[in-house]
Structure 1
Amino acid sequence: MLEDIIWQEKYRPKTLDEIVGQDIIINRLKSYVKRGSIQHLLFSGPPGVGKTTAAIILTKDIYGNDWHSNFKELNASDSRGIDVVRNEIKEYASTQSLGKIPYKTMFLDEADALTHDAMNALRRTMERFSVGCKFIISCNYLSKIIEPIQSRCSVYRFGRIANDEMTKRLNYICTCENLAVDNTAIEAICYVAEGDMRKAINVLETASLMMLDNNVVNLESVYKSSGLLHPDLITDFIKRGLMGDKSAFESIDVMLYQEGLSGVDILKQMFNEVMNLNIPDKMKVELFDSIGECDFRISEGSNERIQLKWMVAKMMKLGAV
């Protein structure tokens, strides 16, 4: 039943025109549809901005009813070694297409997860079977794709979805679902999602299942469903640290063990809020440096509670200067 479909699938764009925030790219993709053929394509950009959806819709528009027989999707993060290129990808690329279009299409998602050897093998496969198989390659970080692959593709850089575009789409979903939501909640979803439309829709759906105030999605339900804190609480925490208030140490335990945030979540929110603080630029630079150092230590396996309390000590020392 349609009601049982998760919203990110229920409201996934069905046409290129429904993809929001990527107008220039969409117009270029339409030209491929009009021409009836594509070349190797490379879509780069952060998660949730329409890369996969654009690849699928583009393929459907070109192949029509034959698209299922001529399209294969493979997530490189699941099989990132050279064997998947030598076996699965090469085998698919070497087979004959079905229907009027003289080539098949392979969509390789999260290709930046491939090993260097696998990328070199992919380059050779793209070169050898360029007539009978076109590749649409998707990645989050273009810099992780080797230059020989980039040079064989038309590169399209997908940007984060602007807040106004995201707001329009979320309001549309609320209307379709007959869901009451206040404006502050929509703003909070945009803050939490950071340009990721998929995440925004997931947060909205989760918040709708835990509405806390008169069956209206509000700020509290948004932040509870997103697993993040209200930015005002983070700002207050930073200010207390800079003022030497020892309660900032206690806040670390509250955020980690009561609110359930990870150390990386806390640092990410701190990073976002530092720019808005009314403090000297030099102090902001010092804070960014300390946040980066703390994030690096946690990523290397250090105890996040110890590192975050070190971060508080650094803030106190910085505020005392």
Structure 2
Amino acid sequence: MFGHQQKNAQQAVEERSQPWVEKYRPKTIDDVAAQEHTVSVLRKALTSTNLPHMLFYGPPGTGKTSTILALARQLFGPDNFKSRVLELNASDERGISIVREKVKNFARQTPRAHGAASDGNTYPCPPYKIIILDEADSMTQDAQGALRRIMETYARITRFCLVCNYVTRIIEPLASRCSKFRFKPLDTGSTSARLAQIALSEQVHVTEEVISALVSTSAGDLRRSITYLQSASRLATSTDPPAPIAPRDIQEIAGVVPDEVMKGFALSLGVDSNPSTTSGSKKQNFDSIRQQVKSIMRLGYSAAQVLSQLHDLIIQHPTLTARQKSTCALAFADADHALCDGADEELWVLQLALRVNKAIS
């Protein structure tokens, strides 16, 4: 009795210390958010238990790995999951030796009989195994070439699922052997609903403005937004009494330049966030622009982040002309290229600011 209570207490402690990304990972494919087409196809495959080789591709944080893990759990159950599923992260183990040794050895093994709890009624437990190769686009060309033959030879007892961000980095002979499933960036509604659900479960009070800040800073990456929410929650509860979570806190955690800082910077360049007053903007002098750039860089913000946010602010501005936007876009392209080559960040942000001010004034 005492041992059982101690075990329950230990599990409770582990749950509290667990990252929310893992804690709220989908347990079934029906829990996967905003990937209706993929889920509907896999649900039919689950009923027939005859899976093809699969290729999941799309942006990070859209549920690719979670989907195949949930599918595998529904197929094999808890007893057979470890013996029937091999998960490898190809970004760590991407050489040809891993394919020839670890992958081939697992693929050639004949699946064992069903476990006690994983009978055919509760879990289908089909007569094959699944090998999940996460970050498969990081595999070398030789490793992908070696994998091609293994997929053919052991297709009867082993199915492969390749998970990647960039499908163009998968060689064509390998991609042609798989059914492709594209995972699209999560829409605002799905991300907001999921974040609100997690906040409610964790008893974290968040406003609509905070949810909106989480969605905008994560850019469709649900995993990133959940991580930001957990970090903000820990930050808020570190004070006594706990402080409310504000949108500014989310932006600081995400490394995003706060809205008021960007609006002030844009205003100094002649771009007003209020469209009704943009027509009254005037050309600023060099010293005032240089002072603005210097103050932003002294705050420690990334030049690439400043470029990205200023780009969105200008390109999406409702009253700037197409000619003004195109001129600014060329300036952004030059600055981005220079920063990628390792140029001085402050000098190039200043160069960009002056060109934007000249284009708009």
Structure 1, unaligned stretches of length 5 or more? none
- In the TM superposition, what are the counterparts of 1:1-321 in structure 2 within 5 Å? 1=13, 2-64=15-77, 65-99=79-113, 101-211=126-236, 215-242=243-270, 243-245=283-285, 246-258=287-299, 260-277=300-317, 278-320=319-361
Deviations 1:205-250 (A, max 9, x none): 1112223997322112111221112335324423423543544434
Is the CA contact 1:42–1:154 (under 8 Å) kept in the aligned structure 2? yes
Deviations 1:152-172 (A, max 9, x none): 111010011111111111111
Residues 90 and 307 (structure 1 numbering): CA distance in 2 closer, same or farther, change over 3 Å?
farther
For the pair shown, which has the larger CA radius of gyration, 1 or 2? 2
Give secondary structure in 2 for the equivalent of 1:3: helix
Q: Identify which range, 19-28 or 244-253, moves more after superposition.
A: 244-253
- CA distance, structure 2, for counterparts of residue 261 and residue 71 of structure 1: 43
Is the CA contact 1:37–1:62 (under 8 Å) kept in the aligned structure 2? no
Give every structure 1 segment of 4 or more consecutive aligned residues whose post-TM-superposition deviation is greater than 6 Å: none
Give secondary structure in 1 for the equivalent of 2:349: helix
Q: Identify which range, 241-250 or 218-227, moves more after superposition.
A: 241-250
Q: Identify which range, 83-92 or 182-191, moves more after superposition.
A: 83-92
Give secondary structure in 1 for the equivalent of 2:269: helix
- CA distance, structure 2, for counterparts of residue 110 and residue 184 of structure 1: 34
Instruction: State the 1:150 CA deviation.
Output: 1.5
- CA distance, structure 1, for counterparts of residue 296 and residue 101 of structure 2: 47
Is the CA contact 1:163–1:195 (under 8 Å) kept in the aligned structure 2? yes
Q: Identify which range, 188-197 or 214-223, moves more after superposition.
A: 214-223
TM-score by length of 2: 0.82
Is the CA contact 1:179–1:216 (under 8 Å) kept in the aligned structure 2? no
Residues 76 and 299 (structure 1 numbering): CA distance in 2 closer, same or farther, change over 3 Å?
farther
Kindly provide the amino acid, as one letter, of the partner of residue 205 in structure 1: Q
- CA distance, structure 2, for counterparts of residue 149 and residue 156 of structure 1: 14
- CA distance, structure 1, for counterparts of residue 297 and residue 26 of structure 2: 37
Q: Identify which range, 7-16 or 91-100, moves more after superposition.
A: 91-100
Aligned residues: CA RMSD: 2.1
- CA distance, structure 2, for counterparts of residue 157 and residue 169 of structure 1: 21
Is the CA contact 2:72–2:85 (under 8 Å) kept in the aligned structure 1? yes
- CA distance, structure 1, for counterparts of residue 334 and residue 93 of structure 2: 32
- CA distance, structure 2, for counterparts of residue 106 and residue 86 of structure 1: 14
Is the CA contact 2:107–2:129 (under 8 Å) kept in the aligned structure 1? yes
Give secondary structure in 2 for the equivalent of 1:210: helix
Structure 2, unaligned stretches of length 5 or more? 1-12, 115-125, 271-282
- CA distance, structure 1, for counterparts of residue 222 and residue 292 of structure 2: 31
Instruction: State the 1:134 CA deviation.
Output: 0.9
Aligned residues: 319
- CA distance, structure 1, for counterparts of residue 95 and residue 290 of structure 2: 44
Residues 317 and 20 (structure 1 numbering): CA distance in 2 closer, same or farther, change over 3 Å?
same
Instruction: State the 1:12 CA deviation.
Output: 1.4
Q: Identify which range, 292-301 or 155-164, moves more after superposition.
A: 292-301
- CA distance, structure 2, for counterparts of residue 217 and residue 161 of structure 1: 23
> Identity rate of aligned residues, in percent?
29
